[in-house]
Structure formats: structure tokens, C-alpha cells
Amino acid sequence: MLKGKHIVLGITGGIAAYKSVQLLRLLVKAGAEVQVVITPNGKEFITPVTLSALSGKPVISEFFTANTGEWHSHVDLGLWADAMVIAPATASTIGKMANGVADNMLVTTYLSAKAPVFVCPAMDLDMMAHPSTTRNLELLRSYGNHIIEAASGELASHLTGKGRMQEPEKIVAVLDEFFDRAADKSLKGKKIVITAGPTYEAIDPVRFIGNHSTGKMGFAIADEAARRGADVTVVAGPVQVKATEPSVQTIPVTSAREMLEATQARATDADIVIFAAAVADYAPAEFHDTKIKREEDGIDCIRLVKNPDIAATVASAKKSGQVMCGFALETDHEMEHASAKLERKHLDAIVLNSLRDKGAGFGTDTNKVTIVTSAGKEYRSGLKSKADVAADILDVLGAM
Ligand code: C5P
């Protein structure tokens, strides 16, 4: 799927720059049009002549061509690109990208690019492990950039050297898969209902019981499903996030009861229902019509009653052919609890988040999940952006 795609290949000053020659050859071989942008330091490692010969285009490094004074428009380049790949990406370039230090053509182009960006870090182990690098990579992920690393996990880093640039063949495979996904309309004609965000259970007109859910994961799934052609409705508790895909319909609700009603009404003819909301388990038994006054001695108790389980209620009325998927946020015995929930709630799949995983769960822009199906299959996502996790979840549910 790389045929005819416009790729900006950014090369920075790392020893792995020699691998970019092979990456460029593979991209060209796959039919992509490649414009190389190299940093001044990058030129110390690899000569632009090799790169322009392979890409068939003059390599861009400076804002101006020295002898003619021709101005290179980073804005035009950013708009021309279907994807931008920065390989190798040094700690310095990653830091500049994360913080908007646009002192060269490469970072300036990055800041103007509307296309998806793929960053392939390459540096020695200590630099990779420094909190500054970790934080900058985290920032890039939060901007929606894709980080392509050679190996993750402690064991892998011992064996292969974390920080080594990913092999060109693998980078091309990631890009290929990305463009395949972008062209994926496999959910066309499917109706998908998603619950997202927290619920607020009113105590009185100004106070409520709620939780820290932001709705990011639910909306990421909604956007990805809409990109794949689905007709998507999100039943959302009080959230700040919005769908970016204009076709997504959002039904705002406040309490668990309202969420249940709205979800039930829309789930009957849905093909897939995903329960990503963090529903409050309890609601105050009584609602005070007026604001409760500050009592001198405090309030003895607010009696709570159990909220309906939206997932269990909706899934108990599941018709054949419907696929229903819940979430489980666990702190211990993760797999056991998730599997038990799957069964108890009559779900077809459950997405397990462990609070023990850094970068997973509430509020973050990344997640790391295990998708467990009722057939006992397990899919592990690894730590990625919520958008990429959403794609994994829809891959599994779409194939059920
Ligand atoms: O039982 P627990 O709250 O851990 O289950 C989590 C799953 O059930 C999530 O998919 C959540 O959206 C759903 N749920 C629900 N209604 C509730 C509680 C949880 O739909 N009252």
C-alpha cells in the first residue's frame, strides 16, 4: 500500500543514519515517492549525494539553497506528505520535536506536517533510558505520533540493545500496515454503540459522586470505527473530549441510569456494543432538591444504592450476531478477574487494563491492554497510543 504515497524521510545525526539508505531504497522499491530532509548533523554521517541519487530528488537540508537562494517551503512539504518518517531520530531531534525547537528544516517541517509521523529512535542505551528522553517520547506519543522502537521490555533490551534503530524492513512493514488500515473500510454498514467517560451521581443540585475517567479510550475507538466506515454512536458521561471524526454521533448523559437508558435504546439494532465507560457503582439513595447546608458536626452518612450494571443488562438481551465488549481495570489477579467478568456479564470480549502498567488507564494518551475473548483467545497490545489500541480492539471485534 506504499505505492504512490508521498513520504518525507527525515534523517538526523546518528550513527544509524547508514540504515536510512536501505530504508530509502525499500520505500522507493515499494513505489513510494520520497523526499529526504536531513539535519545539518545528519550530513556528517551520510552524504546527500547518495540520498538524492536513490530518491531521485534533491535532498533538503537548509531553509535556502545556498547558491540559488531558493526557499524550501516546509509548509508545502508538510502538506505534500502522506507520512513523515524520522529515522534515525536522535535524542536531540526527539527533544526538539517534543518542545517545538524549530531550528532546522527537519523540525520545522515536522511542526507543519498534517500527515501521520513515525519516529524511529536511535541512540545508546543510557541516553534512551534518561528520563528526559522517556518524557520527550511520551510527549510525542501524546501528540499522536507513532514511535517505532526496535525492542521493548527489559529482557528484549538485554538481548538486542534497546535504543538500536528498528530495522528498515520492519519500519516499512509498520508503514505498510498503517496505510492498509487507513484504507480499511471493513466496518462499513456496521452500527457501533460505545459508552464512554464517567457517570456523575447527584447528591444535591451542586454535588455529585464521580470518577476520573476522561473518555479518551472510548472516543479513540469511536473515531477509529468511524474511519473504518461504521455508523458510530457514543453515549458519553460528562467529558471534555470530543470525537474528531465528524460522523460520530454523541449522546451526552450524566448518571448511570441515563446512560443505561440511552444505551439500551440504541443497542437493540447495533452490530457491536463496547462498554468503555467508568460507570459509578453506587448512587446516593436520595437526591436533595436543595443544596445541603454545611452542618457544623458533619453529615453522618450519605446512603448509597447500587447502580445498574449497564454492560450486564444490555448484554443479557444480546441477539445472535451481536458482539459485545467490556473493559476491566484491575490492580491484581488481572486475568482471573477479567475472565470472570467476561462470563458474568455475558460479554464476547473484555479489554483488560492493569493499573500496574505505567502509561495505562485513566487520563493518559497511551494504553496497554490485553484483549480476552469468550473463546479464550488473548491479544496483547503493548504500550501504544490509545488510537493504536483502538485499532487493535476493532481488529479483534471486527473479526468475531
Ligand atoms: O464490574 P466492573 O465495573 O469492573 O466492569 C467493568 C465493565 O463493565 C466496563 O466495561 C464497564 O463499562 C461496565 N460497567 C457497566 N455498568 C456498571 C459497571 C460497569 O456498564 N454499572
Q: Does the structure show a pLDDT above 70 at 8?
A: yes
Cell of 156: 528484549
How confident is the model over 61-66, as a mean pLDDT? 78
- With a pLDDT cut of 70, the percent of the chain lying above it is 95
Name which residue leads in pLDDT, 53 or 293.
Answer: 53
Q: Does the structure show a pLDDT above 50 at 247?
A: yes
Q: In the prediction, which pLDDT does 271 show?
A: 98
Q: pLDDT band for position 156 (50/70/90)?
A: very low
Q: Which residue has the cell 548533523?
A: 41
Q: In the prediction, which pLDDT does 154 show?
A: 40
Tens of pLDDT, residue by residue over 223-242, are: 999 999 999 999 999 999 99
State which of 102-106, 255-259, 365-369 shows the largest mean pLDDT: 255-259
Quick one: CA torsion of 105, 106, 109, 113, rounded to 10 degrees?
180
Pocket test for ligand 1, best of 327, 336, 355 (most atoms within 8 A of CB): 327
Question: Cis ω on the peptide bond leading into residue 88 (within 30° of 0)?
Answer: yes
367/228 Cα distance (integer angstroms) = 21
How confident is the model over 143-149, as a mean pLDDT? 90
Q: What is the 3-state secondary structure (H, E, C) of 235-299?
A: EECCCCCCCCCCCCEEEECCCHHHHHHHHHHHHCCCCEEEECCECCCEEECCCCCCCCCCCCCCC
Nearby residues of 301 by Cβ (< 8 Å), 6 or more positions away: none
| Closest Cα to atom 5 of ligand 1 | 328
Q: In 3-state terms, what secondary structure has residue 231? A: strand
Q: Which residue has the cell 545539518?
A: 40
Cα-based distances in Å from 382 to 110, 160, 277, 359:
26, 18, 22, 11
Tens of pLDDT, residue by residue over 94-126, are: 999 999 999 999 999 999 998 999 999 999 989
Q: Please tell me the pTM assigned to this model.
A: 0.72
195/205 Cα distance (integer angstroms) = 24
**Distance in Å, CA 328 to ligand 1 centroid:** 7
Q: In the prediction, which pLDDT does 385 show?
A: 82
Contact 338 CB / ligand 1 (< 6 Å): no
Which residues on neighbouring strands pair with residue 6, listed in sequence order?
33
